[in-house]
Structure 1
Amino acid sequence: MNGETRLLAPLVPTRGYFPDFLTPPEGLHGIGEALEAVRATPVERLHAELSRLPSARPLPAWIQAMREGESRPLGRLAGVLHSYYEAAVAPYWPRVRARVEADRASRGRALVDGGADQLLGSLPPTMRWRSPVLEVDYPVDRDLHLHGRGLLLLPSFFCRGAPVTFHNPDLTPVLVYPIERTAPRVVPPPVPAHSLGRLVGRTRSAILHGIGGGCTTSELARRVDVSLASASQHATVLREAGLLLTLRQGNAVLHTLTPLGAALLRGAEPEEYERPA
């Protein structure tokens, strides 16, 4: 992976600008479609965006060639991105996706409970909703005017610190923000064998089915018709087994299924959820 990291470093610095074409909207549909979109980037856009990279150091020859419209370097970039994805992202994808889906469930619940004001007010502290302006702790001073366009909010496991958006204001307005983290690293801890052994019985099966798109412990107790203490205890066992996630939302907690939990309900084999399409 070190080779891929060295090749990508000039394009994606740890701080500051990186080209918009590296994060195409097709990425929502998987790595395959994202890389196809990267390969299809028009020459004019490549030249404009790559020319904005910092000039403190000369760009590698293959990036300069890509900026001038040569097709082979663009194919090389797609290959390097795929190799990096396979090494650094795919092995941990269930954990990453579970965190992102939990955040989406929390924001969706805020929207349903209190509309757009509550949704925007529920975002991390780096973003502050003061209607009609969303203030964001951003690395540079800039304004993004929507002009009637919607704002796509994207929770990201890999976004650290300040949220990010496209450099080009004419692109679809997107705000990528960091999700809350309850663990310091991506690698999931091993699941205790005794936890898996306890995952039997009607009540826990009903708990998994009752969570649906996300619910609080009180709601879960009502859906499954058990006491609040029982619902909390069963949720703890399922969480220890890696089948659900729990996020704090105000004075309550919100439970959501992990990909493993959802796969268990579908009766899927592990291979069906360990790697994204």
Structure 2
Amino acid sequence: MAVGIRFTAASVARVRFALSPLGETVLALRILLGGAGGHAVHRPWADGARPLLTGERELSLLRALIAGPLPSFLFPVPEERLPSAATELEALRATEETFFRREYGAVTGVPAEDAPAPESVLPRLAGALHRCHELLVAPHWGRMRAVLEADVARRALTLVDGGVQALFAGLHEDIAWDDGQLVVNGRRTPRAAHTVDTRGHGLVLLPGVFNWPDVGVDKSPVAAASIRYPALGVGLLWERPATAPAGLAAVLGRTRTALLTALAEPLTTTALAGRLGITPSAVSQHLGALRAAGLVSTRRTGRTALHLRTERAAHLLDAPLP
């Protein structure tokens, strides 16, 4: 079903990006519990994650809520760019009763007036999601965050170079700008069958891993509208990292060799720090030395810097250029 998102001048000015550890956990569970979604690209992760799921009582509750259309209360829109899972779970526990009953009824088929009270469901649900996050997502969050942060950095450059319309045009083939509104999932039915009014609250764009390759839109936003789109680079996330030639680490050092290996794609300093498990300041120091040696190039736009290894570095690694 095509969904149209209407904008005012105020809401266009409030377009922003955010990441969502909770959203990734819910979508990861949807893959593992056999609901709609998932893709072969996630199979290496899924094969290792599926045996970790235990607790049939908890899983039955989660399965009932994510088997079909996903309730909006599972995806509280982040108020900051990078919230913790704990912060998002707190927002889930605070879901307003009328909204919870309506969404719960819509996905389970129970009339809203007969839906359970939120205090009887949400604490148990939040506890189950916390355990699932720790098992399924947290061990991989460093690499996932690096991919997501790199995607946001690239979109920021698109926004600077081409404006909001260019930003929207490049998000996903199922997202199109049409006469003052965004139309999502409109390839087959270009006319929006459902309309979301941002009412000046703005739009939050959330790059994702486990929704790949699909795009999703919140049809019942409480405040800001939100779109989850597949981040660039997800296809490489679960691949084993390339191995640098033996002996190169002895010359450059292990960290600098790892940096050059990671920079087969453009990455920010923050993304590199998350991927290598070191501080951004340490990354900056190493990048400075590699840049002086002609092994890394950096493109700066405002406060955003994207790094990429040079042709000289690719020859050192005996790897093809991107």
TM tier relative to shorter chain = 0.5 to 0.7
Paired residue for 2:24?
A: none
Q: Residue 101 of structure 2 contacts residue 118 of structure 2 at CA under 8 Å; is this kept in 1?
A: no
Worse-matched range after superposition: 160-169 or 31-40: 160-169
Structure 2 unmatched ranges of 5 or more = 1-52, 284-322
1:77 paired with 2:125, answer: yes
Q: Does 1:153 align with 2:205?
A: yes
Tell me the amino acid that sits aligned with residue 146 of structure 1: T
Give the residue type in structure 1 aligned to 2:193: D
The whole-number CA distance in structure 1 between the counterparts of 2:247 and 2:66 is 41
Partner Cα separation in structure 2 for residue 154 and residue 74 of structure 1: 23
Distance 1:152 1:190, change over 3 A: closer
Contact 2:76 2:88 in 1 (8 A): yes
1:87-236 → structure 2 map (5 Å cutoff): 87-137=135-185, 141-181=193-233, 183=235, 186-190=237-241, 192=243, 194=245, 197-198=248-249, 201=252
SS in structure 2 at match of 1:144:
strand
- For the residue of structure 1 that corresponds to 2:216, the secondary structure is coil
The 3 A distance-change label for structure 1 pair 170 and 81 is: closer
Does structure 1 retain, via aligned residues, the 8 Å contact 2:198–2:224? no
Higher relative contact order (CA 8 A, sep 6+): 2
Give a deviation string over 1:148-206, Cα, whole Å, max 9, x none.
4422211111213432222315531111111234536x54515536479538659x96x
Cα offset, 1:52, TM superposition: 1.0
- What is the distance in 2 between the residues matched to 1:166 and 1:199? 51
Residue 245 of structure 1, CA deviation: 5.9
d(CA) in 2 for partners of 1:102, 1:6: 36
Cα contact 1:102–1:245 (8 A) shared by 2: no
Distance in 1 (CA, whole Å) between partners of 2:280 and 2:205 is 29
* Displacement after TM superposition at 1:132 (Å): 2.5
Match of 1:228 in 2: none
1:10 aligned to 2:30?
no
Equivalent position amino acid for 2:175 in 1: M
2:104 is aligned, of 47, 50, 55, to: 50
1:93 and 1:178 map into 2 onto residues whose CA distance is 16
Q: CA RMSD in A?
A: 3.5
Contact 1:103 1:179 (8 Å CA) reproduced: yes
Q: Is the 8 A contact 1:126 1:137 kept in 2?
A: yes
Query: Which letter does structure 2 place at the counterpart of 1:144?
Result: V
**Residue identity matched to 2:227:** L
Contact 2:208–2:230 (8 Å) recurs in 1: yes
Q: 2 CA distance for matches of 1:195 and 1:141?
A: 58
Partner of 2:259: 238
Q: CA deviation at 1:239?
A: 4.8
Does the 8 Å CA contact 2:198/2:223 hold for their aligned counterparts?
A: no
The letter of the residue matching 1:159 is N
SS in 2 for 1:168: coil
Give the direction of change, closer, same or farther, for the CA distance of 1:160–1:8 in structure 2 (3 Å limit): same
Partner of 1:209: none
- 1:87 Cα offset (Å): 1.2
Matched pairs, number = 218
Distance 1:52 1:255, change over 3 A: same
SS, match of residue 166 in structure 2: helix
Aligned-pair identity (%): 29
Q: 2:138 is matched by which residue type in structure 1?
A: A
Aligned pair 1:31/2:85, yes or no? Answer: yes
- What whole-Å deviation, never above 9, does each CA across 1:23-56 have from its counterpart, x for those lacking one? 113484111111112222233222222111143x
